[in-house]
Structure 1
């Protein structure tokens, strides 16, 4: 089951809702392929679907740019078989740097800078479970 959080800056009006964790659609690669919009990623998933040695991990994750602090809430997916492996990575939409995954947990302080004002710190507030 996944969790939803609201990120708020302690200085400016920046706010963002993010969803992290594992949903029911992540239980099979076929269901993941059904909602993925990126054609190249869809093809990669389909390459692994027919292979009985495939193992994978997939969930919604928070990604943060280490350079400009931009935030993306995207699918994490890592697949491995006896003959191939794949791990997704994301480029920052602002500066094209490789984004890093950040973990958020309920009642644990978040040490992220605000992507809007760059001075404030973000606070994560849990508001619901999802599946």
Structure 2
């Protein structure tokens, strides 16, 4: 089950809803293949779904740009088989820097996030619903 959060800044007008975690359609590669959009990852999903010994991790996470502190809410996908490994990667939409390899996936309330717009420390983070 996933959790939706609202992130707000006390100093400026920054406000973002983020979705973290998994839903039922994240359990099997064939289900992920139906909704996953990024072309390279979609092709890799097709390749890995042919292998019987595939392990995968897939969830919505929050990527924090190390350069400009932009927050990107996106899918993390990691695939492993007996002969291959694939992990999707993102570039920051704001500064084009490479985003971290893994996003924040839970415990977001324990992470002190700075506002990506004004830099003010400690965004207010409130969960507002469970999603699937």
Same fold by TM-score, threshold 0.5 exceeded?
yes
Runs (5+) with no aligned partner, structure 1: none
Runs (5+) with no aligned partner, structure 2: none
Residue equivalent to 2:124: 123
Q: TM-score, normalised by structure 1?
A: 0.92
- 1:94 paired with 2:94, answer yes
Which deviations, in whole Å up to 9, do the C-alpha atoms of 1:16-67 show, x marking residues without a partner?
Answer: 0000001111011111111112111100111100100111111110101011
Residue equivalent to 1:49: 49
Equivalent pairs, count: 130
Distance 1:104 1:13, change over 3 A: farther
Q: C-alpha root-mean-square deviation of aligned residues, in Å?
A: 1.4
Q: How many Å apart are 1:118 and its aligned residue?
A: 2.0
**Paired residues of 1:64 and 1:71 also in contact (CA < 8 A):** yes
Between Structure 1 and Structure 2, the one with more strand by share is: 1
Deviating above 4 A after TM superposition, structure 1's stretches of 4 or more consecutive aligned residues are none
